[in-house]
Amino acid sequence: MRHFISANQLTVKEIMRLFETADWYRYTGLELKQQLFAANLFFEPSTRTKSSFIIAQRKLGMEVLDFHSTTSSTQKGETLYDTVKTFEALGADLVTIRHCSDTWFEQVRDHISIPIINAGAGKAEHPTQCLLDMLTIYQEFRSFKGLKVVIAGDIKHSRVAQSNAHALKALGASVFLSAAPGFEDYSLDFPYISMDEAVNCCDALMLLRIQHERHEESSTTDSSYLENYGLTKKREKQMKKHAIILHPAPINRGVEIDSDLVECERSRIFKQMENGVYIRMAIITNTLQEWGIMNENTIEKCKAAISS
Ligand code: CP
């Protein structure tokens, strides 16, 4: 049985199946006829990921347990490991975890008998964001083969860049990176291009914010960043007619992207957020099925019953 830790653990076939299930949830929905408890253990700030997990869980009819790290017993020194063991003992059926450590799952994955979904690990992995990004691109182009995707911004400190670059390659896209000096990560084996080159060649441009909270030294961004490395209105005009803009958000308007472009025609930024709910529903039910917590083939049986 697998925890959902990394996008790399999925085959292309499994990714496509999650897309199909997510689309099915968008139009149909499924309320589980079992009492199932979910705990969302977020030790870093979140708006989208935490809320979309809660919405996904509630749409599935799950009971969402209340947990806020700032008012939890972690403030009295309880470890992540003991927090997860506590929720397991209390009867949670699923936990999602976001933590600043790149490798938090190494402490817990072999000692917990309920499934864990990675909701963000330091600067290493953000697999559910990755899948909602892939779904958004797939909805647009229906294939990744031959697509040129540029990931641009603070690559060095971004867990989204790590997850997405590998997944895009596995799915058949050509991946390029674009970063200001000091924001490169040469452990990712993809070519770097300038932002001017990026807008000319890409089918999808994935922008990233500067992750100040993960910088070793305190840093600020001056107003020249947008002009030199960001998506300005002038650069947007150079993009191919069909090219789309993505951003995992939160967005720093006027830094990595001109504020007027956040909601422009080619922006899929709010579509990504919407997709986040449905892909997380699919990930949750797929994981619960793999663990035997939800009856195997429940989704398939529901699909068959509805289409007959
Ligand atoms: N994209 C993303 O992870 O957003 P949050 O930090 O708001 O969850």
Distance CA(232)–CA(237), nearest Å, equals: 9
Q: What is the mean pLDDT of residues 6-18?
A: 97
Residue 308 pLDDT > 90, yes or no? no
- Determine which helix (DSSP H) or strand (DSSP E) holds 97, and give its type and residue range: strand 94-99
User: Is position 138 within any domain?
Assistant: yes
Does 267 lie in the same domain as 144? Answer: yes
Residue 306 pLDDT > 80, yes or no? no
What's the domain count of the chain? 2
- Backbone φ/ψ region at 272: left (φ over 0), alpha (ψ -120 to 50), beta: alpha
User: Is position 68 within any domain?
Assistant: yes
308 CA from centroid of ligand 1 (Å): 39
Atom of ligand 1 nearest to the CA of 50: 8
Does 192 lie in the same domain as 153? Answer: yes
Ligand 1, atom 4, residue with closest C-alpha: 48
273 CA from centroid of ligand 1 (Å): 9
Ligand 1, atom 3, residue with closest C-alpha: 49
Residue 221 pLDDT > 80, yes or no? no
Q: What is the mean pLDDT of residues 280-292?
A: 96
Does 133 lie in the same domain as 267? Answer: yes
**Residue 262 structural domain:** 127-271
The predicted-structure confidence for 130-166, as pLDDT tens digits, reads as follows 999 999 999 999 999 999 999 999 999 899 999 999 9
User: Is position 183 within any domain?
Assistant: yes
Does 300 lie in the same domain as 241? Answer: no
Pocket of ligand 1 (CB under 6 A): 46-49, 129, 248-250
Does 96 lie in the same domain as 32? Answer: yes
User: Is position 149 within any domain?
Assistant: yes
What lies within 8 Å, CB to CB, of 141 at 6+ separation is 147, 203, 204
Q: What is the mean pLDDT of residues 258-278?
A: 98
Residue 262 pLDDT > 80, yes or no? yes
47 CA from centroid of ligand 1 (Å): 6
- What pLDDT, on a 0 to 100 scale, did the predictor assign at position 218? 64
248 CA from centroid of ligand 1 (Å): 7
Does 261 lie in the same domain as 132? Answer: yes
Beta 148-152 vs 174-178: how paired, if at all?
parallel
Residue 219 pLDDT > 70, yes or no? no
Does 222 lie in the same domain as 110? Answer: no
Does 112 lie in the same domain as 39? Answer: yes
129 CA from centroid of ligand 1 (Å): 8
User: Is position 1 within any domain?
Assistant: no
What is the share, in percent, of the chain residues with pLDDT greater than 90?
Answer: 88
- What pLDDT, on a 0 to 100 scale, did the predictor assign at position 244? 98
Does 114 lie in the same domain as 132? Answer: no
Distance CA(8)–CA(16), nearest Å, equals: 14
Does 259 lie in the same domain as 133? Answer: yes
User: Is position 62 within any domain?
Assistant: yes
Residue 39 pLDDT > 80, yes or no? yes
User: Is position 87 within any domain?
Assistant: yes
Does 215 lie in the same domain as 190? Answer: yes
Best mutation site among 44, 47, 208 for ligand 1 pocket (most ligand atoms within 8 Å of CB) = 47
Distance CA(130)–CA(255), nearest Å, equals: 23
DSSP state of 156: G
User: Is position 2 within any domain?
Assistant: no
Sheet with 244-246: list strands edge to edge: 174-178, 148-152, 204-207, 244-246
3-class DSSP string for 240-271:
CCCCEEECCCCCCECCCECHHHCCCCCECHHH
Q: Given pLDDT bands bounded at 50, 70 and 90, which one contains residue 29?
A: confident
List the CATH number of the domain containing 291.
3.40.50.1370
The predicted-structure confidence for 175-218, as pLDDT tens digits, reads as follows 999 999 999 999 999 999 999 999 999 999 999 998 777 777 76
Does 107 lie in the same domain as 22? Answer: yes
Q: What is the mean pLDDT of residues 170-179?
A: 98
Q: Tokens in use for 57?
A: 């869980």
